[in-house]
Structure 1
């Protein structure tokens, strides 16, 4: 009698990946590139300087165990941001605002869920592509879960809308300051050049994402048993409100406060360089405003906030452990070795294959370097001279980086924002992987075709430097 295979808990999967990374530090040759410090304070690798480490670092089992609390500490900014958002949303829910909003949206989209799905994917893609929003979507997850439940859909549909918009927005960004601007600056081409192609690709890729989510949603509408999350508890606590409260003035004020909070966050990110500490502060302010407008007393507000935080304890652990994978590889001096090993073969293939290879490489490396800007500083200086050598214009190198970093944000478990979103919705990672992997394959096929055509039509030739030799691209970063 054969036993049915049971997929391990997401925490076990992440710890397993940490263990694989730990074992790899004993097998993979340890090495590093020289780095330079740029004017903006970030470090960038210097191509052509890779060398094997003279002193080998052997991580002990204690190092592995210590890496877990270290990883939690390293991810503390997003962990505490998630805690704050969860607590503040619990306050908002106690005022009845979320239920009232769901009722209002049901009146508008209840008979047309396809329009809702398209608008969410479209709007989130625009926001991510324009200003690099990501963690800011976490407050909307439970609202969309409740809305999908009322439409006879499921939590997977809600997560699909959010993450698909987020990933496609990053992958096809026209002017994301955290990816496009940095990558083009480091590669030595004008910032925001080549924008026409990226704008032209936006709608087709959004439609690919929308079609994937809507196809799944249709299956759930036709047969609730087709839901991938049918056996999971509802993240809303099993509430099944038959009638929703009317959207009153106090609810509208709370929603206005949320809109103002998000708008302030967008302004702060783009104009003041804010990140999660500042965002957490303004969400706390929204929580206080919500409690006052919603007429909640101090004790009730505190109790609801703590309950919201408690509900996200599992999510916080997943986010922290996910950070540990890259931490182990950095400690074991194999991160640069993997980058070098992946980039080296590209110098021996044709330009079309090399462009697709760069895309695949960036996709794989996003597992180990989940920061988009961090990945740009590590990989773009290495791939730019490779592209110069094999005939891949620097604009195409940047495009391959965008595709690889952006699309894989939707599936790599080391992405803290992704783990926060699926954790908020109560969707285990292995189920999300089953949902998202077919979409990833569709996007990768489309992106590979775009890269091959870009090489064929010499995309980026207008800004390609006139190179007499393969100069160190770090020279061009001095102007950053």
Structure 2
């Protein structure tokens, strides 16, 4: 038999859509009743799951129509990625990126481990505190270029980016999109339980750093060890050695970039901005870059279009990835999967059940890649289940955080992940082989933390009274 070849990422995603369609024929269709919370968001009502008598079999035609609908549903991410591609292309045309790489090489050229740790740590901090995710996309090509100059590869660049992103979400301190929502649903004081999350933050960051650095050392020792040695570099085959000096205009452009990132962070935290507003901020930065660099307007326009065109493949992958969960929503099996997965936990002890919660939250993130969306669907079920098994609700929230955050690093339905690896030119199959061992390490560490949290009663001090008005899951 010939050597097995991993299919193209688009092939894998479409195959998953077909599997999801077939699942709608097999999995019983059902739904929970929904209630509107004070925030205006919809959440499930525990104990109200009912099967749908008139089963609706999804047809291949509906599968095909789900693809353009998925593109429309993911349009905010798709256009944000294309705008970033265009704006960064303008920045590259000014020489700013090359000048920055040259300066970084002067400082870290002989110490790549310091660069890797700094990126993982800083990205994890940002995700933990303000829930940044798509904001990392602008850094990907810069890190790819920097890694290339340091004799590393694109996998290293993506590895440090995604490790920071996923670990930051998993060990969130004040993330308003996951932690705050989950604690509100669990009727816990907002941001409570932070000492434990603060204590385990650095150990989990070190797990991510160690995984990326161990791989990087193998690439430095022999470039043939690179997992992407068989793939073209997304930046081409040029091997520029003479980087321009970091001139005043470059510093002004970089300063305006940092100011843009700060504005984005402020807007997200204070005004609830999302990708439309973020895209507008980066368009403004692109216009400011043209003015500072005195780049000809026609040249800037051409560079913007070239940069956006380079990310067409990435945009397609993001759209199809959204189609997987859309098919399951249309087939009305999403709530059935949640209900079916949660039931077995009610028959085991607390220490085993809490690990089961972690596994379920991880699996459900494949179907519900939105962190806040997953909280509204699963936490109303996990909270009464935790009460039934005498697991502190704070531990149930922690299990949700771990499952959502860490699995963000590997599930193909995560549009941000597909955007990051798409920009770096890394097929999903290659990324899966790199990331799976890291996920297993993090999940093992998370399971240990959860079991110890149950044993030592983490969250008992803020546990609401038993009569909270939340019903127990019925069997």
TM-score, with normalisation over the residues of structure 2? 0.98
Structure 2: distance between partners of 1:468 and 1:113: 55
Residue 6 of structure 2 aligns with which residue? 7
**Any conservation in 1 of the 2:113–2:213 contact (CA below 8 Å)?**
yes
Q: Over residues 347-385 of structure 1, what are the superposed CA-to-partner deviations in whole Å (9 max), with x where a residue is unaligned? A: 110000000000000000000000000000000000111
3-state SS of 1:367 partner: helix
Matches within 5 A, 1:328-347: 328-347=327-346
Cα distance, 1:465–1:92 mapped onto 2, change above 3 Å: same
Residue 249 of structure 1 aligns with which residue? 248
Structure 2: distance between partners of 1:188 and 1:345: 24
**Any conservation in 1 of the 2:318–2:415 contact (CA below 8 Å)?**
yes
**Any conservation in 1 of the 2:249–2:293 contact (CA below 8 Å)?**
yes
3-state SS of 2:367 partner: coil
Residue 312 of structure 2 aligns with which residue? 313
Q: Over residues 381-417 of structure 1, what are the superposed CA-to-partner deviations in whole Å (9 max), with x where a residue is unaligned? A: 0011111011111000000000000000000000000
**Any conservation in 1 of the 2:369–2:413 contact (CA below 8 Å)?**
yes
| In the alignment, structure 1 residue 74 sits paired with structure 2 residue 73 | yes
Q: Over residues 144-191 of structure 1, what are the superposed CA-to-partner deviations in whole Å (9 max), with x where a residue is unaligned? A: 000000000000000001000000000001111111100000011111
Structure 2: distance between partners of 1:239 and 1:127: 33
Cα distance, 1:236–1:161 mapped onto 2, change above 3 Å: same
Residue 354 of structure 2 aligns with which residue? 355
3-state SS of 1:360 partner: helix
Structure 2: distance between partners of 1:473 and 1:288: 55
Residue 196 of structure 2 aligns with which residue? 197
Residue 259 of structure 2 aligns with which residue? 260
Deviation at 1:37, TM superposition (A): 1.1
Deviation at 1:468, TM superposition (A): 4.5
Q: Over residues 11-32 of structure 1, what are the superposed CA-to-partner deviations in whole Å (9 max), with x where a residue is unaligned? A: 0000000000000000000000
Q: Which runs of 5+ in 2 are unaligned?
A: none
User: CA-atom RMSD, angstroms?
Assistant: 1.1
Q: Over residues 28-59 of structure 1, what are the superposed CA-to-partner deviations in whole Å (9 max), with x where a residue is unaligned? A: 00000000111222100000000001221111
**Any conservation in 2 of the 1:346–1:354 contact (CA below 8 Å)?**
yes
Deviation at 1:465, TM superposition (A): 1.6
3-state SS of 2:262 partner: helix
TM-score, with normalisation over the residues of structure 1? 0.97
| In the alignment, structure 1 residue 184 sits paired with structure 2 residue 183 | yes
Deviation at 1:473, TM superposition (A): 8.8
Structure 1: distance between partners of 2:4 and 2:64: 28
**Any conservation in 1 of the 2:81–2:419 contact (CA below 8 Å)?**
yes
**Any conservation in 2 of the 1:188–1:473 contact (CA below 8 Å)?**
no
**Any conservation in 1 of the 2:388–2:472 contact (CA below 8 Å)?**
no
Residue 118 of structure 2 aligns with which residue? 119
Q: Which runs of 5+ in 1 are unaligned?
A: 475-480
**Any conservation in 2 of the 1:385–1:470 contact (CA below 8 Å)?**
no
Residue 42 of structure 1 aligns with which residue? 41
3-state SS of 1:44 partner: strand
Residue 97 of structure 1 aligns with which residue? 96
Deviation at 1:291, TM superposition (A): 1.1
**Any conservation in 2 of the 1:366–1:408 contact (CA below 8 Å)?**
yes
Q: How many residues align?
A: 473
> Could you list the runs of 4 or more consecutive aligned residues of structure 1 that deviate by over 4 angstroms after TM superposition?
none
Structure 2: distance between partners of 1:158 and 1:469: 47
3-state SS of 1:228 partner: coil
